[in-house]
Amino acid sequence: MEASKSRLLHRSLREAPPKAVGGDGVWLIAEDGRRILDASGGAAVSCLGHQHPRVLEAITRQASKLAFAHTGFFSSEPAEALAEALVGDEPGGLAYAYLVSGGSEAIEASIKLARQYFAESGQPQRHRFIARRQSYHGNTLGALAAGGNAWRREPYAPLLSAAFSHVTPAFAYHEKRDSESETDFVTRLAAELEAEFQRLGPDTVAAFIAEPVVGATAGCVPAPEGYFRAVREICNRHGALLILDEVMCGMGRTGTRHAWEQEGVAPDIQAIAKGLGGGYQPIGAMLAGGRIIDAIRQGSGAFQHGHTYLAHPLACAAALEVQRVIDDEHLLDRIQDLGRQLERRLTERFGNHRHVGDIRGRGLFQAIELVADRASRTPFDPALKLHQRIKAAALEGGLACYPSGGTLDGRSGDHVLLAPPYIATSDDIDMIVDRLGHAVDLALKSVG
């Protein structure tokens, strides 16, 4: 459908996407009746697939009792229960949950909490944030300023706060020199971060912010061994906070509830969203360490922030049930098993492919990166829009995956991100790789 015939503003102002009219586990149903295998849950959202009966039931039950109560006046049962489920056992010292409506809101809250903490604990000069290039932290102006994704930032650059600076990402495929070991690479990145602290003035930095496994902008990039321990040490030494953005890679996606569990470090503040509510309701959360909240409690006594739909009862009821299903059905174990299968199958199918330069990820969060030339890691010409061709060919072949294109700095090329639902079967994983292989070959043929 032409977008001009729709009153709804779509991402593309030229073409409206087809309508999805139904869902059934790992399948999405399009208006023409076609069943599309959902291999990425949108953007790593639908972790329990579609129309999970327990989650639908929980939403209906809550809706019949109470759909909304403003947090300026009331708390609610599902909000209290969700916070308890998320931080009742204080994972890594995270003791409080602030419930918002999505990932960008969780990041905004994280940035503001870090700032307010220092403003109220005798260090008002700490107002700077260090982030990484090729990161994505959301699309609101604060989150966009934190993100290091060149093309998303460019049109809004004059509006983005100069309080954010960016260092080299821990992206071994593009940033590690061939002559360098992984350890040397980590040492070099740590030295660069240390130098950035020194350049800004270490006691002016409030926090370093990073995704443990980079999602949308780079395609499932985990950091090399030891990177986050080095980063944590630098933050500790300078008295800055570590904010981890697990909006995409968190809530089980990489095989542990929090991706940071695999790094041996815990953040001071964490943002989660997507897999928290599995797409059944819009919800995100900021998780914060006890000492940060206690300092503000003893200071002004209130987090100076808020939105109308904080801790929305329906969203909380949905997220609580999503998390209970994950626990009851031992889905973390399943993610690890299926993740190994997905990685193996991708390696079999693409390991020797002349245009697949890298296969990477963790758990059910895996990506392939397409290159024009494997030896030199040269990306395809962005004008070819290879990722869009793959997306279209995949959809045509009954597969929804999440391809993205290169960034303006030209360092990373087209990649395809896969984030299948945790309830997928082994056969589903095989079908995802088969269909993706077919789509990639078709798209490559179309660019010659």
250 contacts ligand PLP (rule: CB under 6 A): no
Residue 143: CB minimum distance to ligand PLP, A: 6
Of 38, 108, 196, 245, which lies in the binding site for ligand PLP, with binding defined by CB under 6 A? 245
Q: Give the angle subtended at the CA of 287 by the CAs of 319 and 233, to the nearest 5°.
A: 140
Distance in Å, CB of 427 to ligand PLP, minimum? 28
**Amino acid letter at 349?**
R
Of the candidate residues 169, 212, 215, 219, the single one contacting ligand PLP (CB under 6 A) = 215
Binders in 265-294 for ligand PLP, by CB under 6 A: 273, 284
The angle at the Cα of 161, spanning 157 to 163, to the nearest 5 degrees, equals 130
- DSSP string for residues in 39-64: SSHHHHT-TT-B--HHHHHHHHHHHH
CA distance 180 to 2: 51
Whether the Cβ atoms of residue 40 and residue 402 lie closer than 8 Å to each other? yes
Closer to ligand PLP by CB, 273 or 326: give it: 273
CA pair distance 310, 101, nearest whole angstrom: 7
Q: Which CB atom, from 102 or from 357, has the smaller least distance to ligand PLP?
A: 102
Beta strands in 194-283 (DSSP E): 205-210, 213-214, 221-222, 241-246, 269-272
Query: What is the full DSSP assignment across 330-375?
Result: THHHHHHHHHHHHHHHHHHHHTT-TTEEEEEEETTEEEEEE-SBTT
Nearer of residues 45 and 371 to ligand PLP, judged by Cβ = 45
Q: Residue 238 or 253: which CB sits closer to ligand PLP?
A: 253
What is the C-alpha end-to-end distance of the chain, expressed in Å? Answer: 28
Residue number of the CB atom closest to ligand PLP: 103
Q: Residue 212, interface with ligand PLP (CB under 6 A)?
A: no
Which residue among 23, 41, 49, 102 contacts ligand PLP (CB under 6 A)?
102
Handedness of CA 76, 82, 88, 90 (dihedral sign): negative
Please, how many CA atoms are within 13 Å of residue 280, restricted to the half-sphere of its CB? 31
Contact between 216 and ligand PLP per CB under 6 A: yes
List the Cα angle 326/331/332 in 5-degree steps. 105
Binders of ligand PLP among 103-142, rule CB under 6 A? 103-104, 107, 136-138
Measured from the CB atom, is 150 or 247 closer to ligand PLP?
Answer: 247
Please count the residues of this chain forming the interface with ligand PLP, following the rule CB under 6 A. 16
Residue from 120, 175, 196, 211 that binds ligand PLP (CB under 6 A)? Answer: 211
Restricted to residues 415-444, the positions that interact with ligand PLP (CB under 6 A) are none
Q: List the one residue out of 233, 250, 236, 138 whose CA is nearest residue 189.
A: 233
- What is the nearest approach in angstroms of ligand PLP to the Cβ of residue 273? 5
Question: Which string of DSSP letters, residue by residue, matches 270-296?
Answer: EEE-GGGTTTSS--EEEEEEHHHHHHH
Q: Which range binds ligand PLP by CB under 6 A, 114-122, 210-218, 253-261, 360-368?
A: 210-218
Among 190, 213, 248, 368, binds ligand PLP (CB under 6 A): 248
Q: How far is the CB of 109 from ligand PLP (least distance, A)?
A: 12
List of residues contacting ligand PLP (CB under 6 A): 43, 102-104, 107, 136-138, 211, 215-216, 245, 247-248, 273, 284
